[in-house]
Amino acid sequence: MHAGLDALQRKFAEGNGVEGYLLTSPVLYGQFMHGKNEDTSDEQIQAQRFATGLVTEVLRLIHA
């Protein structure tokens, strides 16, 4: 279980020396939800931030 939580932290969450929404997994989530189209770039970034925030909050609640 700890390995899975560590993987979520590394792949989605903030605190890895880079803003979480710029990590590969949130970017892929944003592309999945909105495509790679320039017209949807704002929506894609919003989805990336949502994914990062959600995973960060879930991890915080688990570790509380």
At residue 16, the pLDDT reads 63
- Average pLDDT over all residues of the chain: 91
Rounded distance, CA 43 to CA 61, Å? 27
Residue from 32, 27, 25 nearest 11 by CA: 25
Q: What is the pLDDT of residues 13-28, one digit of tens each?
A: 876 688 999 999 999 9
